[in-house]
């Protein structure tokens, strides 16, 4: 059976151009970038070209990019790297209730180590309140970490306003842009972002590679001790093919951004329209206006998300549920709880996230099957 993949927020397929670019670095160009002979210098050149490509996507300097093992490590490095270094200045972080576990669990560890964390509420569309942010800043606040766009419901935060406030109050602003990267135009200078996390496997590069942007004048402590790689900020022999792949993915993201956004939006909106027109008792979660182009998140009243996924899987359709059902507990996710979704809706949540490989025919196939599955279950 043909697989129809609608889980691009979970991971994406490595793009062909990315793989082609990586291939030589997995085969004949296998040098260690720290080696001074030619084979090493070729690997080094690959890494530095990739760094430039990542920087170009974000409109920053290449020396502001540090490669990591992915979004999770970038988030950990940003939060711990700043808080541990600045512990004498203050111990307060502001974040939101709907962050990815990479942020929330890092905050939990920091709390266990004597730090104080404020978790901002979000409204029913999943957007933070700027006034609330302003009001909870204290003289102890060192860092604000608010995700650019949410991985479950796709809502995009008022990043420019947050950057402005942080900048004015002398607080460092970090954003987890793992979902936003490549799907929203990001200019870290214009948006006054001090630190930003991104991940390869969400944008057509492999798993296990990511980057952290840190503005030039900001000091942070390294998490991993070892050699001098990444200007002493991330020890360990470089994942050269991964870095080269991430660079290429960023280059493609930049040149294709407009077309990519348009294409995903069109598929997503067709999906929203067809589902809304054919099924009652549904809720579209997240903001319509401030939303990732490829994200849809719909709750079907009195349905079971796990069952929906299983029925779709039988048809070769890959999608994601909106509750932590993997544990069998059927607890709505922290994001759906934060937007105030009632249980009768939350339990029947389906996240469908579109990607470059999806076609209109794929969407029709999805919609036809999904409508039938929901109607049959409700009979």
Supply the residues annotated as catalytic.
325
CA 241 to each of CA 22, 71, 208, 313: distance values in angstroms, whole numbers, following the listed order: 5, 17, 11, 33
CB of 69 to ligand PLP, least distance (A): 7
CB of 100 to ligand PLP, least distance (A): 3
Q: What is the dihedral of CA 134, 135, 141, 146, to 10 degrees?
A: -50
Quick one: the chain helix, strand, coil %, rounded to 5? Answer: 45, 20, 40
Cβ closer to ligand PLP: 72 or 96? 72
Other CB atoms within 10 A of residue 160 CB: 12
Cβ closer to ligand PLP: 78 or 279? 78
Cβ closer to ligand PLP: 24 or 236? 236
CB-based contact 98:124 (threshold 8 Å): no
CB of 93 to ligand PLP, least distance (A): 16
Cβ closer to ligand PLP: 4 or 100? 100
Cβ closer to ligand PLP: 69 or 304? 69
Cβ closer to ligand PLP: 92 or 100? 100
CA 183 to each of CA 102, 156, 260, 313: distance values in angstroms, whole numbers, following the listed order: 20, 11, 8, 27
Helix (H) or strand (E) segment spanning residue 49: helix 38-58
DSSP reduced 3-state for 320: strand
CB of 263 to ligand PLP, least distance (A): 20
CB of 68 to ligand PLP, least distance (A): 9
Residues that bind ligand PLP (CB under 6 A): 70-72, 75, 100, 102, 147, 151, 176, 178-179, 199, 201-202, 210
Q: What are the beta bridge partners of residue 65? A: 213
Strand 323-324 with 317-318, pairing: unpaired
Strand 317-318 with 4-5, pairing: parallel
Q: How remote is the C-alpha of 291 from its chain's centroid?
A: 13
CB of 294 to ligand PLP, least distance (A): 12
Other CB atoms within 10 A of residue 45 CB: 13
List of residues 6+ apart from 48 with CB closer than 8 A: 62
Cβ closer to ligand PLP: 64 or 75? 75
Q: What are the beta bridge partners of residue 116? A: 92
CB of 291 to ligand PLP, least distance (A): 14
Q: Which residue's CB comes closest to ligand PLP?
A: 71
Cβ closer to ligand PLP: 8 or 263? 8
Distance CA 96, CA 90 (A): 19
List of residues 6+ apart from 33 with CB closer than 8 A: 40, 43, 44, 46, 47, 229, 237, 238, 240
The string of DSSP codes covering 225-275 is -SSSTGGGTS-S---HHHHHHHHHHHHHHHHHHHHHHHHHHHHHHHHHHHH
């Amino acid at each position: 059976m043909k697989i129809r993949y609608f889980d691009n927020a979970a991971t994406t397929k490595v793009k062909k151009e990315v793989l082609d670019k990586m291939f030589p670095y997995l085969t004949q160009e296998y040098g260690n970038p720290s080696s001074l002979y030619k084979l090493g210098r070729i690997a080094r050149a690959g890494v530095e070209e990739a760094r430039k490509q990542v920087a170009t996507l974000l409109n920053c300097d290449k020396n502001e990019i540090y490669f990591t093992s992915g979004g999770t490590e970038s988030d950990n490095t940003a939060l711990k790297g700043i808080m541990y270094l600045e512990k004498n200045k203050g111990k307060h972080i502001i974040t939101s209730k709907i962050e990815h576990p990479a942020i929330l669990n890092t905050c939990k560890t920091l709390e266990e180590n004597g730090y104080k964390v404020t978790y901002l509420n979000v409204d029913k569309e999943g957007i933070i309140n700027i006034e609330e942010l302003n009001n909870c800043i204290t003289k102890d606040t060192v860092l604000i970490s608010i995700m650019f766009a949410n991985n479950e419901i796709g809502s995009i935060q008022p990043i420019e306003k947050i950057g402005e406030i942080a900048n004015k109050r002398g607080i460092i602003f970090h954003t987890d842009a793992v979902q936003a990267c490549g799907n929203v135009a990001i200019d870290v200078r214009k948006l006054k972002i001090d630190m930003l996390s991104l991940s390869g496997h969400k944008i057509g590069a492999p798993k296990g590679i990511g980057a952290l942007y840190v503005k030039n004048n900001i000091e942070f402590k390294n998490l991993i001790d070892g050699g001098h790689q990444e200007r002493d900020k991330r020890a360990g022999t470089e994942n050269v093919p991964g870095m080269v792949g991430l660079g290429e993915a960023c280059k493609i993201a930049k040149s294709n951004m407009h077309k990519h956004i348009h294409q995903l939006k069109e598929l997503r909106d067709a999906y929203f329209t067809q589902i809304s027109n054919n099924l009652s008792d549904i809720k579209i979660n997240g903001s319509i206006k401030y939303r990732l182009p490829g994200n849809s998140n719909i709750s079907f009243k009195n349905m079971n998300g796990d069952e929906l996924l299983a029925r779709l899987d039988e048809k070769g359709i890959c999608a994601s549920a909106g509750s932590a059902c993997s544990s069998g507990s059927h607890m709505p996710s922290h994001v759906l709880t934060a937007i105030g979704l009632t249980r009768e809706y939350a339990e029947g949540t389906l996240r469908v996230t579109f990607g470059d490989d999806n076609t209109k025919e794929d969407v029709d196939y999805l919609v036809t099957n999904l409508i039938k599955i929901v109607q049959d279950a409700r009979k």
